[in-house]
Structure 1
């Protein structure tokens, strides 16, 4: 029996590019979202109901047993589902996060000479698919997870958003073990399964995550230690000298670290390396209480500042 990686090539070698694109879309919908409607194909490709039905039938002939039609006329992946298309985590995340068109090739080059930094850690595609499906369908998942503080543990979580800090991807979720909302690094999830019949309580849903729903209005200005602040004004298009950015409180620490923002109250984080920080958070109190605030460069809690 051919491996999953070879199924598409061996069974679909005679397909046209247009056919392969449609079939890969079906495969993606089933794998990462856990559902496919005939209307999804019609809207995505501008095809008629007859052509959409024929395309689904073609997919089922190439990947028999991968999905079944339920009472709501929605195709669902079966427990025996095996991807027909070889999905990469990088392409899947681009499709999920930005709505980019699913690419069929893995060696397509840029239109111009460009160099983009790679994320150092990409999730396993099978874990990403299950987590994405749970987010899309509003399901509880049971995971085996490894952390620095607790080692390997089994947890039940309710995921609702994927987040990237440009180094690795994590999922924002309610953790029933700790009874609070936390960030789980996708790469640290060893295994996962969807608990189909578990109901989600209101306090476990995204609407109850106060730090996710709290939007912080940041005011960033050129760092006071810079000799030529006018350069920074040009870099960030700051005609009035202030860059205003809205971020979720749950993510603010990650972003301050990623953007290299000096968050010290006296803009002193730049003493060791004066070239590292181009921007300073004008009001460090604005990020007080955010869960990831300890990651913010130079940040000092107001309580500690008073004590010193």
Structure 2
């Protein structure tokens, strides 16, 4: 991956080195660009383990001001999120950075023990996922080569908090009976039960939460 990056974007930092790409390479347009004015206070509070106050727009609750304890940035392939404890809910959530209109250091001091990353169950839980060529595809051998599978299997270990994002980005059919149709579904999650209790599974294509 480093070699591909160097070839497509150039070597060095532009000082005494080549900053030009060695090969022609087309990148998809980036549609989601977080503002550095918004991101800077969040980054500082992550390093200092403090609380940041944000003005946030949510599909569910509209516009609101929240105090959060951020501890990590997450890129789901489409958007940048900040993983944080939300004092309004209260729970650990992902906040889309471009939905934050203002961020500033809060006056409420340090992060409390139950707001630390160690208390985030979804972040610390590791799920093991087995991806195989989708049974509806005619040439599974090609898919095995595309994804570097061993014995027809690609085994992933992911944080539960981000697993659903990865499965969505890779367009993985997560239905129990590989029922999703379409040539875009080249992969099937063979052990879909591994997503039980995973909050981000709501983003996994075709996954249905079991009835309680």
TM-score (norm 1): 0.61
Asked if 1:218 is matched to 2:129, the reply is yes
How far apart are the structure 1 equivalents of 2:191 and 2:150? 19
Matches within 5 A, 1:31-110: 109-110=20-21
User: In the superposition, relative to structure 1, how do residues 219 and 154 fare at CA in structure 2: closer, same or farther (>3 Å)?
Assistant: same
User: In the superposition, relative to structure 1, how do residues 199 and 276 fare at CA in structure 2: closer, same or farther (>3 Å)?
Assistant: same
The residue number in structure 2 matching 1:206 is 117
Q: Tell me how large the CA RMSD over aligned residues is.
A: 1.9
Determine which structure has the larger helix proportion and give its number. Answer: 1
Determine which structure has the larger strand proportion and give its number. Answer: 2
**Unaligned segments of structure 1, at least 5 residues:** 1-100
Poorly superposed stretches of 4+, deviation over 4 Å: 101-104
RCO (CA 8 Å, sep 6+): is it higher in 1 or 2?
2
Are the aligned partners of 1:121 and 1:169 in contact in 2 as well (CA < 8 Å)? yes
The residue number in structure 2 matching 1:268 is 179
The one of 119, 128, 135 aligned to 2:39: 128
**Unaligned segments of structure 2, at least 5 residues:** 1-11
Asked if 1:294 is matched to 2:205, the reply is no
1:266 counterpart SS class: coil
- CA deviation profile, 1:208-266 (whole Å, cap 9, x unmatched): 00000001011101111111101111111223111001111011111111000000000
1:298 counterpart SS class: coil
2:118 counterpart SS class: helix
1:303 counterpart SS class: coil
Q: How many residues align?
A: 199
Are the aligned partners of 2:49 and 2:110 in contact in 1 as well (CA < 8 Å)? no
Which of these two proteins has the greater Rg computed from alpha carbons?
1
